Amino acid sequence: MSTLTIAAVQYDIRWLDQQANFNALAQLIKEHFADNAAADLLLLPETFSTGFCINRKDVQEPEGGGIALTWLKKIAKQYNCVVAGTVLVSQHDKKVNRFYWVFADGTVEHYDKRHLFRLGKEQDYVEQGQNRKIFTINGIKILPLVCYDLRFPVWSRNRQDYDLMVNVANWPAVRRHVWDTLLKARAMENQAFVVGVNRIGEDGNNTAHSGGTTIINFDGENIICADDNQQKIITTKLDFSKLDEFRHKFPAFLDADEFELSLDSQ
């Protein structure tokens, strides 16, 4: 197994102002990479270009890609890395919360958020994703998740098909303890590295976010964390040979229960 350098962006998203977000993020990323080595994967928070505004019809991009996807492609090419973040994309009479993974050569893959936040009525405006995805970078297999997906361990169960779990979110400060706890639990139970990327600041619905962006070892210990309520890009190189060694010494996955995952819609 090889290594992977991760850069995770903790950011105060400007509400419904795409250009302001693009400009601010571009400057933050430029400053970071002026002082740090290149990354293989650059991760942005959920709905990084607009904030989590799901109930407005004008806050969505066309199925084939819009201004946000174009910007992601530009950044991926400029920094020669995979850039990933979610965008609300038109689908049927609703939209999907689409987690774009954009490669430096312009290739685009995506995962549509599976679990919709019922308390926020996300299901009224957003269609449920139907497919669990695994993406590969430098031979490393990665499970993408979006925010509320974190609460559902069956969906993220490691069937020895991934080495790294990534969750990008707009996770509110009031439930921050849940975020911190579940990220560590997912790492330990799945014997995988975990990256959690969250926003900071207050959104247009007066919901506060404190951050909690972190990169976690397969034993549940934090490798690096961003300071709360601060815009920051954290970065580290993950050595997957250490994960392979840990799994060999403690092969708990061999005692896992067999199951089948239902993909029926809500």
CATH number for the domain that contains residue 144: 3.60.110.10
Tell me, yes or no, whether 139 lies in a domain. yes
Tell me, yes or no, whether 261 lies in a domain. no
Q: Structural domain of residue 108, as residue ranges? A: 3-251
Question: If pLDDT is split at 50, 70 and 90, which confidence band does 266 have?
Answer: very low
Buried b (16+ CB within 10 A) or exposed e, 12-33: bbbbbebeebbebbeebbeebb
Can 46 be counted among the known catalytic residues? yes
Can 53 be counted among the known catalytic residues? no
Q: How many helices (H) and strands (E) does the chain have?
A: 4, 14
Number of domains observed in the structure of the chain: 1
Under a CB-based contact definition with an 8 Å cutoff, are residues 125 and 116 in contact? no
The Cα–Cα gap between 215 and 221 comes to 9
Tell me the pairing of strands 193-198 and 200-202: unpaired
Task: Please tell me the least confidently modeled range out of 60-64, 212-216, 234-238.
Answer: 60-64
Under a CB-based contact definition with an 8 Å cutoff, are residues 170 and 46 in contact? yes
- What is the maximum span of the chain, computed from C-alpha positions, in angstroms? 52
Q: What is residue 73's predicted lDDT score, i.e. its pLDDT?
A: 98
Tell me the pairing of strands 41-43 and 193-198: unpaired
Tell me, yes or no, whether 262 lies in a domain. no
Query: With a threshold of 0.85, does the pTM exceed it?
Result: yes
Q: What is residue 27's predicted lDDT score, i.e. its pLDDT?
A: 98
Tell me, yes or no, whether 88 lies in a domain. yes
Tell me, yes or no, whether 264 lies in a domain. no
What own/partner pairs with CB < 8 Å and gap ≥ 24 does 241-247 have?
241/1, 242/218, 243/1, 243/163, 243/191, 243/192, 243/193, 243/218, 244/1, 246/191, 246/218, 246/219, 247/191, 247/218
Tell me, yes or no, whether 54 lies in a domain. yes
Q: What is the pLDDT of residues 122-139, one digit of tens each?
A: 999 999 999 999 999 999
Check whether 23 has a pLDDT greater than 80: yes
Tell me, yes or no, whether 256 lies in a domain. no
Tell me the pairing of strands 222-225 and 214-216: antiparallel
If you average pLDDT over residues 112-121, what whole number do you get?
Answer: 95
Question: If pLDDT is split at 50, 70 and 90, which confidence band does 87 have?
Answer: very high
Check whether 69 has a pLDDT greater than 90: yes
Q: What is residue 64's predicted lDDT score, i.e. its pLDDT?
A: 86
Q: What percentage of the chain reaches a pLDDT higher than 90?
A: 92
Q: Name the catalytic one among 95, 113, 184, 232.
A: 113
Q: Name the catalytic one among 147, 184, 225, 232.
A: 147
Distances (CA, A) of 58 to 48, 111, 183: 16, 22, 33
Can 95 be counted among the known catalytic residues? no
Tell me, yes or no, whether 118 lies in a domain. yes
SS (H, E, C) 96-143: EEEEEEECCCCCEEEEECCCCCHHHCHHHCECCCCCCCCEEECCEEEE
Question: If pLDDT is split at 50, 70 and 90, which confidence band does 265 have?
Answer: low
Residue 172 DSSP label: -
The H or E element that residue 18 is part of is helix 18-35
Question: If pLDDT is split at 50, 70 and 90, which confidence band does 33 have?
Answer: very high
If you average pLDDT over residues 197-202, what whole number do you get?
Answer: 98
**At residue 137, what are phi and psi to the nearest 5 degrees?**
-130, 125
The Cα–Cα gap between 107 and 14 comes to 27
